[in-house]
Structure 1
Amino acid sequence: MEAVPQSVCCAVGGCVQGGGPCVKAVQVSGVRVQLEMAALWQQFDRLGTEMIVTKAGRRMFPTFQVQIFGMDPAAEYVLLMDFIPVDDKRYRYAFHSSSWLVAGRADPAAPGRVHFHPDSPARGAQWMKQTVSFDRLKLTNNLLDDNGHIILNSMHRYQPRFHVVFVDPRRDSQRYAQHNFNTFQFPETQFTAVTAYQNHRITQLKIASNPFAKGFREVDNDDW
């Protein structure tokens, strides 16, 4: 599934007062992004995706991976991700009804951070020739984290966002910052941050579909 880029200047490079649409630079205006493993993301989304956050940082599964089309092969781009709250609520899981319920207003927002893909910057030809994977990105609930991990509040819902930024070679490139990026988001990648899985069906699907969880499949439930 491809994401439709947001047409309003936001997040990276600053906002335009009033929220008017930006005319994007030709290097980013034609960029299209396709989510890899979309069917698996949709399976999780139907159950209510949960992502573990730990003090040390935990990788996401499914991993956020995309295929990119429409870049200028010779231009340089930086790729990055950030995570925004879906709403201003905190949640709790009701085991008797197997559902998430609103538990109150959201906690104060965690420090906003971005994760740069380690291959950035690279030419469009490089980005487009293979799947782009954010497999090094880690989520933490440690507000004092100094490892550069994405800091999230447990029991809050988040939307991952993917940004494509054209590296403008002009000396006054800062003047055009809001025109030189596009933001993409896939609704099926929304998740609730948790310190332990709440929905047992999420646990089962993670074990069944994660190649790194193979050891768990071979262990009797009583041995966990």
Structure 2
Amino acid sequence: MRKLLLYMVCLFLVFAEGAQAQDLDYKFLDAIKILENKFGTVLPKSINSQTCDFSFSAPYAKICDLITSVDNKNIKIEKITIFGRDKEMAAIAMSLVCGENMPNINAQKVSAFCNLCKDSRLPWVSNKGKNKNITVTMIETTFGDNVTIKGIADKSGLVFSDLFPILNGIRSISAPFFERGKFFDTEDGRKMEYTLQCKWGAKF
């Protein structure tokens, strides 16, 4: 009798956990549906009971809207990556994590990140006609302490002479730091892929 009771308890816990996982899956699907209604097709890369990774396209000006659309007490943006693609639309990769009563992302950081991504001074790869020697290809953050910026430069010195003055003029971030550079050969000659780490603006 005792063994039967223990078996029933274990069976209940298994079904309860499965139901909870299914509920979390539905929360992710609801978030994806919200984004699809606003921005079009969303392509899930992976989804399970705790995390969800997906990608989609959205205008730079709408990045703030898409972040606030999915951030709530049960779903938190774990990481967001913005890839420069064309003049108005960005390719976006987002990772969500699900839980109970999760704190919202700092609203000031959300605003700062959005302002950074849509700042017209940034030499996004799509706008390289403004500056053919250096471009920004990616901006990424977990809304922790840092913002990561990646790009391509014809010469390593251009990161400091051309890009740093631009970044220092953007109030959303501060203290850009050259983390690493990797050289590679192309048809147009040797180039460098750089990675920078920036702090949030002084008000943070």
TM-score by length of 1: 0.24
Q: Give 1 or 2 for the bigger CA radius of gyration.
A: 2
Q: Greater helix percent: which structure?
A: 2
Give TM-score, length-normalised by structure 2: 0.25
Relative contact order, higher structure (CA 8 A, sep 6+)? 1
Q: Normalized per residue, which structure has more strand?
A: 2
